[in-house]
Structure 1
Amino acid sequence: MHRAAATGSIALTLVSALTLTACGGSGGKGVAADAKQTLTVWAMGTEGEKLGDVAKEYQKAHANISVKVTPVGWDVAHQKLVAAAAAGKLPDVVQMGGTYLGEFADMGALEPVDTKTVHEGDFFPAAWKQGTYDGKTYGVPWYVDTRTLFYRTDLARKAGLKGAPATMADLQSAAAAFHSKAGTKWGINLQPGGLDTVQSFYPFLYSAGGAILDDQGKAVVNSPAAVHALQEYGAFFDKGLSEKSVRPGYDVTKDFNTGAVPMFLGGPWMTSLLDDNYPNLKGKWAVAPVPADKASVSEAGGSSLAISADSDHKAAARAFIQYLTDPQGQADWYRRTKDLPADVAAWKTGTLAADPSLKVWRAQMETARTTPSQPKLTEITSKVDSAIESVTQGRTSAKAALDKAQSEIEGLVG
């Protein structure tokens, strides 16, 4: 998962890996890390725009290395990656969103990570899992994100609430109180349909103990826990507490600022958006853990850094990735972007250790879950998107919608 997914702005091109020629390694030892060379890197979205500055700093200490960073928009990333992988022309280092990695690892396009030098225990478990496919690790966790609850503290007092809702039952009661007592237009913003609706649903699904796929990759999206979660999600729309219409390019922070929407589930970048665009809101909002069902469990998002199997610069690529993903590199990246570090040690000093609001994010990441990597994960999640929309629009029951999705996903995971 990646940042753009949460805003619903991604348009993924679904291309079957079966139509591609599998990529192989370069067959030789490649260029030594200390030789003069150019390292090519593709990074997406905001990360692509910011990484060039880090590359310049890296080059100052590594005069033999020229790092060429190409920013790629998330809206065209999948299409460009598929075309490059099919031609054997992936860059040396490539940012991989969680929904992509299994597809490209299955093609043979990615070099396995040397787990003797990159250690699983240094990273959040869910972040490491996102870079793993079919028992091997292909991506080193770069940054993570998860969802927590943003809520208007001033409007909560007006609604008679004593704090953030602690349970999913409390969340629905709070949404109703905001609407009826504080006069908000809606109780909470939840995505009603369209691409990546599943991102909004994951905290309900995981907190209820449900999943799309189990750890063995078997479809389990119509389990009783998942049906219960979708019933809870759909209730906000049935009761008029969440907006049913899908508005392209919708920016929830605008309605959060006016008070039309007093609560939403969002990622860490939302903090910067609120601070930068609505300074008058300072002191009037807070973040809280995802309300608990069986437990408080959110999704794990973020990106990994992978090396092309065809790269002739693997040694230099490994060194650059190590620079970006060690605790110092992670802390520096947070200062530049506010992306949350995937390396646990990076959270032990400075702002990351001292800021009370960041402790909410850290705690949420400890229990966050992710869907196992699959070659057709984008197709799989699109089936869940459709199921959610059919419920929020009142077309089918949660059970019927998820039974249909289960059947479709079973066909995709074989």
Structure 2
Amino acid sequence: MRRAARTTSVALALATAFGITACGSSGGAGVAADEKQTLTVWAMGTEGEKLGDVAGEYEKAHKNITVKVTPIGWDVAHQKLVSAAAAGKLPDVMQIGTGYMGEFSALGALEPVDTGTFDKKDFFPASWSEYDGEAYGVPWYVETRALFYRTDLAKKAGIKKAPGTWKELRAAAKAYQDKAGTRWGIYNQPGGLDTVQTWWPYFYSAGGSVVKDGKTALDSPAAVKALDMYGSFVKDGLSRKASPPGYDVVKDFGNGKVPMFLGGPWQTNLIAEDQPGLKGKWAVAPVPKEKSSTAQIGGSSLAISKESEHKAAAKKFIKYLTDAKGQADWFERTKDLPANTAAWESGPLSTEENWKVFRKQLETAHQDPVQPKWTEITSKVDAAIESVTQGKATPEEAAEKMQDQASGLVE
């Protein structure tokens, strides 16, 4: 799931109000896969816009199936899914962002994944989410963070290779400013919604874990160290203290104000499209390490409604979208990175250096905990990070506060 607008989790409250429970009734045997029928599918953002074309191709090969795709904006996706789940009117197949998986798995609104059809070994380990030992979605596409950096400005700054450690990252940021004349050395989001997306690579690379031995671990030495490192970039004038509404780091990457940032795979396309003058002047490198080079994994899975009468056909359609061939085709259409590792064995994913970096990062990526109140937990972490970047709390104070606030939200 990309940088989608989030809302406070209300699904569990609505579930109680409407009588949804974790052991909701199944839709029964339903319609056989080879019978004439219509599959309803909800997909979000760019994926919702593109999936209709793939559905059309699928229908040509499966004359008995009509696939009705409804595109939904990420800004309303959460509320629409919550309302549909509460009313028992979810579509047959739906796209579920990684941040929503715990919430909707706990509702009992999703059909468990048929592990006889879908083998978790076919996917990047961190992309396969389970709640209480059961998977409720098949990984569709994945994303993670890597370091984007200006190679032309690196030469001016005397930087001979991409920074591979935290120490080298700080030194590179300073060199870009002092020797290449950049306004900033790096961009780390200083606050606001989803600040955590930039901070996770620091936290996980420091050896952090949100939950350890069944308990919240946000006040660990790793968390304090990651907050301290993150905040030091702002304190020392190497990163912005505030970002204007709608801030576009790709624009500042293009004009040379920001020579480095931690970004996702979709930004490779934005740079190519919006900053054509940068061709040959930038590259992607693994996340600089403290204990390890580790970022979080994101993306989306495809799930089947528990109440669907078309589960057999839905399962076949999801198989089509998530096998190696379907995933390679989806990458060509959208540049979404395949969750199925076999799709990486040929074509540009296997040869182009930037994609190879992302694959390496995905192989060590850290899965966020599958928690029903995950969006509420991350909002507490967002606030803690901002308190450090704005000088309102020490890393130790911020870590203690987010630990206290998140502990009651973790199951």
TMscore range, shorter length: over 0.9
**Of 184, 187, 207, the match for 2:185:** 187
Q: Which amino acid aligns with 1:35?
A: E
Counterpart for residue 317 of structure 2: 320
Which secondary structure does the structure 1 equivalent of 2:211 belong to?
coil
Which residue among 210, 213, 226 is the counterpart of 1:212?
210
Whether contact under 8 Å (1:26, 1:312) holds in the other structure is no
SS across alignment from 2:113: coil
Offset, 1:98: 0.8
- Separation (CA, whole Å) in 1 of partners of 2:150 and 2:395: 30
Q: How much has 1:247 moved relative to structure 2? A: 2.0
SS in 2 for 1:3: coil
In structure 2, the residue matched to 1:17 is 12
Match of 1:166 in 2: 164
Q: How does 1:34-45 map to 2 (within 5 A)?
A: 34-45=34-45
**CA distance change for structure 1 residues 27 and 310 in 2, over 3 Å: closer, same or farther?**
closer
The question of whether the paired residues in 2 share the 8 Å contact of 1:13 and 1:79 is answered with: no
Q: 2:197 matched to 1:199? A: yes
Please give the per-residue CA displacement for 1:9-32, whole angstroms capped at 9, x wherever unaligned.
Answer: x14243140331216234420011
Q: Given that residues 12 and 76 in structure 1 are in contact (C-alpha distance below 8 angstroms), is that contact kept between their aligned partners in structure 2?
A: no
Give the match for residue 403 of structure 2. Answer: 406
SS in 2 for 1:303: strand
TM superposition outliers: structure 1 runs of 4+ over 6 Å:
none
Question: What is the distance in 1 between the residues matched to 2:331 and 2:219?
Answer: 38
* 2:326 aligned counterpart, secondary structure: helix
Q: Which string of whole-angstrom CA distances, capped at 9 and with x for unpartnered residues, describes residues 311-355 of structure 1?
A: 000001000000000000000000001111100111111121121
Q: Deviations over 1:60-100 (max 9, x none)?
A: 00111110111111111110000000000011001011110
Seen in structure 2, the aligned counterparts of structure 1 residues 336 and 27 have a Cα distance that, compared at 3 Å, is closer
Match of 1:345 in 2: 342
Is the 2:11–2:107 Cα contact (8 Å) retained in structure 1? no
SS at match of 1:95: strand
Residue 226 of structure 2 is aligned with which of 217, 229, 234? 229
Residue aligned with 1:386, SS: helix
- Judge conservation of contact 2:8–2:375 (CA < 8 Å) in 1: no
Which amino acid in 2 is paired with 1:4?
Answer: R
Q: Secondary structure at the match of 1:249?
A: coil
1:368 aligns with 365
- Work out the number of aligned pairs and report it: 406
Percentage identity across paired residues of the two chains: 64
Number of the residue aligned with 1:3: 2
CA separation of 1:392 and 1:81: change in aligned 2, threshold 3 A: same
Structure 2, unmatched stretches of 5+, are none
The residue aligned with 2:326 is: 329
CA RMSD across the alignment:
1.1
The DSSP-based 3-state class of the residue aligned with 2:43 is strand
Q: Which position in structure 2 is the counterpart of 1:268?
A: 265
Q: How far off is 1:148 after superposition?
A: 0.5
For 1:353 and 1:412, the matched residues in 2 are separated by 41
Normalised to the residue count of structure 2, the TM-score between the two structures is 0.97
> What is the deviation of 1:175?
0.6
Query: C-alpha distance in 2, partners of 1:3/1:280?
Result: 26
For structure 1, the 5+ residue unaligned runs are: none
The alignment's TM-score, normalised by the length of structure 1, stands at 0.96
Q: Distance in 1 between matches of 2:193 and 2:241?
A: 15
